[in-house]
Structure 1
Amino acid sequence: MATLRRVLYVGPNHQTAAEALGEHLSRAKIEAVPSPATALELLADQPDCLVVAHTPEFDGLSLLRTVRDRAHDLPVVLFPERGDEALATQALRAGATDYVRRTGDQPYALLAGQLTDAASGADPDTALDPAPAGTAVPYEASFTHANDAVVMVRHADDVSTIETANQLFIEQFAPEADLSEIVGRDIDAVVTSPDRRESARAITDRVRDGELVTNTVTRQTVDGPREFRFQAVPVGATGPQTPSRAFAIYTDITQRDQRQQLEATTEKIATLHETAADISRCSSAEAIYKIIAAATDEILAFDTTIVNAAIDNMLVPQASSADLPADDYYEAVPVDADDMLVARAYRAGESHLTDDLREHDVSPADQAYRSVLTVPIADHGVIQAVTEDVGAFDEHDRELAELLAAHADARLTQLATERQLRDRTAELERQNDRLEKFASVVSHDLRNPLQVAQTRIELTRQTEDQSHLDNAEAALGWAESLISDLLTLARQGQTVDDPIECSLAQAVSASWQTVKTADATVNIIDDQQIVADPARLRQLLENLLGNAVDHAGTAVQVTIGTLT
């Protein structure tokens, strides 16, 4: 074991640091300087160890890199005022032998112990000997005070075994064992499940070859698979046939990823509510379908989406992702189709998440499609997202798609209600028009028979000739029939009866009896058979004859016949 005789310290408050360190290294000479330039000059005196401070005002990393360029074998310990695993990785990458944070109750005692170990580790006869379980090795301070799982791995003979590890590593990956039981075990067998062993081995090989590796990995812990930020720093010689070590840190980022996923989901929900505002302003179903397709593409980041509308028992595509050619999907799907997920989901009224279409008895639009998310929009239609990847959709995707569908359903239902209201309003307006026409017709067409009845009754009073009452009764009877027919016409808005052949002469004679004709006369030249409704024909003739008397004079002569 090498003896620690001389230590060089460089950094702020160097005198105080030298005194504190000297209390724990009584046999070593502590030389402290504040200047990097002075420290570089003193390297010529070949100190046993170098301590480099690191503060916001003193860049110890830069000095460390310079020292390592000049003194390759000198043990160097970085002694930062504050630090974390990221700084530790930077230090080790820059060539530090160890890393001790200036925190805790006894930072200088810990530093002294690591300097002693670093000097011992520099002995070429022991540098790569396997460390007995639980014994101190270089970087032990980083192991002890790290907030993450840390392990030292020894690479030799194409095998990568655990040399030492901190307590957090044991608690996460081997809680039922102690350090002595995991030392010497294959690192990948300890931290990975069998199905991930091959990918883990590929990363280990990269580290063995001297590569500094930073990656996001999934590792098997006592709580099941978890996500880690993995950082590995090669130490010492590298190569497939040369024994070497690697210092590895596992930072659990599962909760961070879950938090990020929650934040991303919250952001998507907020954006979907903005989309809901856009949907609420749409004046047509077509516009709503286009917004849905755009939202699944831009907000939910689905690969391919088709939006179908239920029309006459068919699910007809109305809008799709921008990257979907028109001929790459079904034109329409019958609602009762049993081999179509879109039809099944619509009939059931429930969303359906399919991880792999090939495991289901369905007919995909494209055989390349594997994952499908199908979400009905109530009875209006269906949103369907597809991708060529297996298991691409999850429950978060389903929930967000259902939220989008709910907004669309609300507006589509409102539009349908508004459309029904407009149709009802139009029907009421048509009925009002018919009633107005009815009132006009009643006012005009009842005038003649009522006037006739009134005149005949007056003549009866004057002459006491009862025969006038027969004419009055006939006029009133015609008025009653006319009112009945007009009411039917007003209510139904169509012809009263089927047309039949009628005698024009007979119709004129009947009409003449209920028109107030004064001294007017009617001359029927010839008779004609015409197809008409008798009541409507009589009504028409009464209007014509009455207008002739009213506008041509009370002594007018009306001629009825065929035009030549």
Structure 2
Amino acid sequence: MAPSTDTIHVLHVGDPSVTDVVASALEREGDQFAVDTANTPEEGLESMVDGDVDCVVAGHDLPDGDGLSFLEAVRESAPDLPFVLHADRRSEAVAERALQAGATDCVSNEEVLDRHAVLSARIQNAVARARATRQSAKARRVGRVVKALDEALARATTRAEIDERVCAILSDAEPYRFAWIGEHDRDSRTVEPRSSAGVAEAYLDTIEIRTDERPTGLGPTGRAVRSREVAVVQNVCEDPAYEPWREQALDRGYRSSAAVPLVYDGTLYGVLNVYADRPDAFDDREQRLLASTGKTIAHAYRRIELQRQYTDQYRTLFEEAPVMIVFTEATEDEPIIEDCNGAFAEHLGYTREELRGTLLAEHYTDRSAEQLLEGGYDRALAGEFVREQRTLVARDGTETLTVLQAAPRRDRDGNVVGTHALFLDITDEAQIRKLERQNERLEEFATVLSHDLRNPLNVAQGRLELVAETCDSEHIAHVRNAHDRMAALIEDLLTLAREGAAVTDPGVVDLAALAQECWSNVDTAEATLDVDTDRSILADESRLKRVFENLVRNSIEHGGPDVTVRIGDLPGADGFYVADDGPGIPEADRETVFDAGHSTNEDGTGFGLSIVQGIVEGHGWDIRVTESDDGGARFEITGVECASE
């Protein structure tokens, strides 16, 4: 193995007459050697504690001991440190025992004294192998630490969890003894601990760390905060910048220290501090690793920050969504409601707390519950279906027809644990379709009246006129009147069928203007119109016109030619009225005046008010008859929607 060009610190323990010669010879062999000497094993062990030793060279015959005993003592504190023993060439048993005890190499005393190049080469090769072994072990350690950190950061969901796991992982990794993460207070210019792990013994309680230029701000933490770069103290014992904390650090075995700013996109999220059990633990490679780790940690903080923002936005959307949303949990028996939004709870008449933990099927009709439990939920878990109808049942028994859309809900490991379910209320849509079908049936009925009844009547009327030309009979007049009445009945029935259809596309109607127009369309004789409204409403204008015309005719027909008709707004209600000062409608008859065929006029068909009621209900309004202030009839129409201004 090629010798290393880095400085090799050699400790030679033995008789001064030998160690001094060897030290001078080795330093002449190459600039890389720096040799310290010790006379006794005790002095050698002390030198190892106080200094940085790459290789120990020791003779077998030592003052106050022997080389094998010294080797055993060295191996107790430094099991991997290169150790070269030199002894008499004839002491093969000593060499064998030395190698068995963990010596790196054995050479003869003659080689030490006379063949310095051989000793130099053996020391260089021993140190190179040891350094390579340490680098390999360090690489494996770094790999394990990086992997553990990556996994912890990926799974963390809070900043506190990141702090805790990072400190625990680093403090458990050689050569670190302690790790902590602090928060920088910009106002006080101090760093306050957030989390820590390792050999601390209340260390953080005994120190103050600032980030200004005071003595307690000149250590690695203060420098890292100010520079936004990794700052290190390679030797706690000697670095003057570490004076404020030296005693407490040394008492806990800290020999070097590094501070890492946790910065992402210009934001300082904190500062990481790590302490090693040896001097010079933070070489260039270690500092690059820590800098990269700091960026990764800060990126994880930012990810969690964004996740929290997105979670808050999602929670707001979930809670305030106008549609009903439910999170279900798959259990061995039946799906339960894990959570729901306010729209779902309000629609069913419960609180969210009451619904959590209940069986989803409890809030379905029997038919929908059967669909849920007989394959519907399994398809939802598998993501196989997109859209199905379900009928929900509220606390008061009200049923709501919905369209359910569901998708699998997964945990953080990707396992399906339930479903996301969205319920869209389509009750109104179903009602509209029902009204459309009703309108279609009414139109079919109108077609029958128009063709199957009116056409034969037209034929009968024509035949009657032919008979009248050739026959003079008093019966012809009676038949003609009957035909006319039949024609009037057919026209009223056609009107009733067509005007009773639901209104699906209303427009803006000015009530006062429409009332005046309708008044001019009716033979009002000496009657008077009094309009007291400035309201505009949403209605089908042509059909509302028939309402006014029929009610005006009804007032004139029953109130006489000089009747007064009033049209105005209902006080405090969403509607209007049509009233007169005629004789009124007896209270006993008010429930039947809207019946088809009801009439007190022998010439009437009895469909006028029935048509009015059909049009009113086709708009979704209500109508009732009562007594006017003048004692006449008053028709009140409510449920009317005013047009927006």
TM-score category (smaller protein)? 0.3 to 0.5
**TM-score, normalising length: structure 2:** 0.29
**TM-score between the two structures when normalised by the length of structure 1:** 0.32
